[in-house]
Structure 1
Amino acid sequence: MLEFGIATLILIVTILVGFPIAYSIGLTTIFYIFITNPANLLVIPIRMFSGINSFTLMALPLFMLAAEIMVRTGISSKLFDFVRITRVGKWRGGLAYVNVLASTIFGSISGAALSDIAGLGKVEIDAMEEDGYEKGFACAITAASSIESPLIPPSNVAILYAGTMALSVGAVLYAGFLPGLLLAGSQMLYIKLNAKRLNLPKHEKQYTAAEKKDIRIRGWIAMGMPLIILIGITAGLFTPTEAAAVAVLYALIVGAFVFKNITVKMILDSLWSAGKTTANLFVITSISAVFAWAIGVEQIPQQLSAFMLGITDSPYVMLLIINVILIIVGMWMETSAAVLLFAPILAPIAVAMGVHPVHFAVVMIVNLTIGLITPPVGVVLYATSNVGKLKFEQVVKSTMPLVLLAVVILLLVTFIPELSLFLPRLLGFID
């Protein structure tokens, strides 16, 4: 146990000084093996392979490729226009509502908060500035609305969690749907309550009937991909991995024959970007599998579970403690890496205390996504600052009320399990 404690300290230090996550985990694991039993070095390649030898994880690179193609074909601006012509676009603060709704819809395509900022951020901030919104407010809404992406299915993080913890992909995907909508609803409520105080403008732009028709057609076509995926998985027409392949095919057909703007270079760029992201994620996944083996050897989950039971026998108190831990982790660590590193440790503790594994999956994902917009690190805050050309400190100040709202939603999700379990249970993914 002492050896593992030293190794964990090395892991924390290397992460804090800026080592890539994969290197930090790898160095920590190798150090642990060297000081315990060097013969176990033979375990490393076996565990690395088994960590990514999953049919479920095969869906990730295909979903990433589909999202890259859809972003490059201009899907983000088409979705923004699609939502802008709805009734909410005419309310006071209409573009702020549109920002939230567009990010929520786009989240079902990109599946990642940073992808939402990259694909929609500039479009949203520029449009709001043009309409007279204060830039800090525009950046805050853009940053906060992006965290719906890892929750609204199909979500890359949900698929990764399900593959890592051997849960039903459909269950974890649908479990995040209502919490994602709650986050979006809380942000729209914030806009409604502050519209007059902040003197938010109304969107005055007029569209012709022909323009509206074209925008609606393109918007519904863009939304077709997540709808096909979810209906296909729910109806049992295809597995999540097959759904990912269908998503790529759909993105190619839409780009080539509907939007007619896809090029060979665009496809190659999409392949390269998706390949880099996948390679990075799979390296972390494979090395994390070795670290998970070390955790199992030391019986860390069992020891932590016994320790937690010694503190409290209430699952809700335990979840509150875990919430604090995970929000701090989410501030410093990329979401996928945090799932791979902490889910094998914390999930068994929660399950041992009576928490449903799918409920805990959503609690963990919500925690980590809130960390994305929580200083001092909050990677989405930095990305929004860069896209919006606004100082990081100003983005943080404007975003804090929305962070507090997100924490309220987290507490609701934590203490009302049915918010996560209702849809998976209704659709037959769990009992």
Structure 2
Amino acid sequence: MTLTLLLAFAMLLVIGAPIAVALGLSSAVTIVMHGLPASVLLQRAVNSIDSSPLLAVPMFIMAAALLSATGVTTYMFDLVRMIVGRLRGGMAHVNVLLSLVFAGMSGAALADIGALGGMQVREMEKQGYTRRFAAGLTIASATIGPIFPPSIPLIIFATAAEVSPVKLLLAGIVPALLLAGMLMGYIALIARRQNLPRDPISPTLPAFLRLSLISAPALMTPVLLIGGLLSGYFGPTEAAGITVAYAIVIGLLVYRTLTLRKLIASARETVLATANILFVVAAAALFAWVLTMDQVPARAGEWLLGISDNPLVLLLILNVVLLVAGMFLESIAAILIIAPIVTPALIAAGAPPEQIGVVMVLNLMIGLLTPPVGMSLYMMSITVKIPFAEVVRGVAPFFAPLFLALALVTLFPGLTAWLPTYLME
């Protein structure tokens, strides 16, 4: 049964079928060919999206769209410029820090690129950076978004692996800061070698205070989210709803730039993005069900534990599998298929579920930067009208800090498990 499923899936991918169609149609073909009840198709698809944690996904997308519509990103960009712009390679540092700040609002790499990518590349070009370098850095720094809360991929992982979404979201904070530090450290190393320019901005205290005051309501969004999760007043779903309400309030009453037209546009953007994600979720649930019926997760767990009961060895194997899978599979589909198969074995070997989730998501976000299915590459190419091959060349040098961060998260479970353990137990 598994062979039929994989062959049908591979054939559909080869002929160019979208990933969700390939997952769903290959599952349907396998179910029919092996005499399983066809009613499973509808039942499993509906049950997979009938999930409270998944309710957070459209609301976090909506919150990011609303905050982007207010135009506050321009003020945050100027504020970060004042803080680090005078460093050698200042605009490159701004790029990374702005991605970290926006990560606390978007939770998705493609949202980061869509909202900030064009502006970041244009500003870097004005100061003498090549478009290739600017585009490569922008999509590399966008990997921070899916690690720092609110992280949509981590919520998807929590649903697939049946682990605590709150702990997973908190587990992403330290790795996200580590990733930003790695990228900025790499920029500092090459800044002198390539004589990267300093930002010509001349910060003044009144201007800094004005921008800080303007940006403060938007910058409070991640504080509100993380504070609510830690206090126990609400979980990820409630946090997402409150974040949407907060974004609407500050857009209407504080910034006064959120018009009815922008609100409708944000809602339309949310519906389209959510439909794409949930289509993949439903199709991947069918795919995973067929694998489960053929006892693939159980056999995979036995195989993994037969190789070693050392969690580090198993995590290294997982890294290799995910880095290859990330080159061909869409990240959410990969999480939904692979997480239920490998997570039980890794937990049985002693790996914290928070570490497994962050390692998996970071791996797959790196996969967004690798052809042939690197969605970040394609989106950047379209956004700034640069050839795809140039984007690939631009991001290649930044794999060094990304892989270093991945290695540290893999080797040291405390980087992911310490904060949620300290704060919640």
Q: Report the TM-score when normalising by structure 2.
A: 0.95
| Structure 1 residues 128-185: Cα deviation after superposition (integer angstroms, max 9, x where no partner) | 1112222222112111100000001111111121122221111100111111111111
Contact 1:305 1:352 (8 Å CA) reproduced: no
User: Which residue is equivalent to 1:342?
Assistant: 338
User: Which residue in the other structure is 1:393 paired with?
Assistant: 389
What does 1:208-219 correspond to in 2, within 5 Å?
209-219=205-215
2:149 matches 1:143: no
Shift of residue 307, structure 1, vs aligned partner = 2.4
2:369 and 2:376 in contact (8 A); partners too:
yes
**Pairwise mapping of residues 96-107 of structure 1 onto structure 2 (< 5 A)?**
96-107=92-103
- Which stretch shows the higher mean deviation, 229-238 or 133-142? 133-142
- The whole-number CA distance in structure 2 between the counterparts of 1:130 and 1:337 is 38
Q: Superposition pairs for residues 112-191 of structure 1, below 5 Å?
A: 112-191=108-187
Uncovered stretches (5+) of structure 2, i.e. residues with no partner: none
Alignment partner, residue 379 of structure 1? 375
Select 1:223's aligned residue among 202, 211, 219.
Answer: 219
Q: Tell me, which stretches of 5 or more residues in structure 1 are unaligned?
A: none
From the superposition, tell whether residues 153 and 185 of structure 1 become closer, same or farther in structure 2 (CA, over 3 Å). same
Residue equivalent to 1:79: 76
The equivalent residue for 2:201 is 205
Give the TM-score taking structure 1 as reference length: 0.94
Describe how 1:320-339 pairs up with structure 2 within 5 A.
Answer: 320-339=316-335
- Distance in 1, matches of 2:20 and 2:394, equals 33
* Correspondence for 1:58: 55
Deviations 1:354-396 (A, max 9, x none): 3222211111011001111123432212222232333222222
Shift of 1:212: 2.6
Change beyond 3 A, Cα 1:16–1:74: farther
Whichever residue aligns with residue 79 of structure 1, its letter is M
Q: Structure 1 CA distance, aligned partners of 2:15 and 2:172?
A: 33
Partner of 1:46: 43
Residue of structure 2 equivalent to 1:6:
4
Deviates most, 370-379 or 221-230: 370-379
How far residue 12 of structure 1 moved from its aligned partner, in angstroms, is 2.5
Percent sequence identity is 38
Q: Distance in 1 between matches of 2:374 and 2:279?
A: 23
Cα distance, 1:165–1:308 mapped onto 2, change above 3 Å: closer
User: How big is each residue's C-alpha offset from its partner over 1:58-109, in whole Å with a ceiling of 9 and x where there is no partner?
Assistant: 11111111111111221322221121111x2211111111110000110111
Partner of 1:304: 300
Instruction: Please point out which of 351, 356, 360 is paired with 1:360.
Output: 356
Q: Does 1:422 align with 2:418?
A: yes
How many Å separate the matches in 1 of 2:276 and 2:381?
24
**How many angstroms apart in 1 are the aligned matches of 2:269 and 2:149?**
22
- Do the aligned residues in 2 keep the contact of 1:77 with 1:120 (CA within 8 Å)? no
SS in 2 for 1:85: helix
For 1:330 and 1:75, the matched residues in 2 are separated by: 33
CA 1:416/1:208 → structure 2, altered by over 3 Å: closer, same or farther? Answer: closer
Query: In the TM superposition, what is the alpha-carbon distance from 1:335 to its structure 2 partner?
Result: 1.7
Query: Which moved further from structure 2: 73-82 or 174-183?
Result: 73-82
Partner of 2:283: 287
Distance in 2 (CA, whole Å) between partners of 1:189 and 1:305 is: 38
> Displacement of 1:209 after TM fit?
4.6
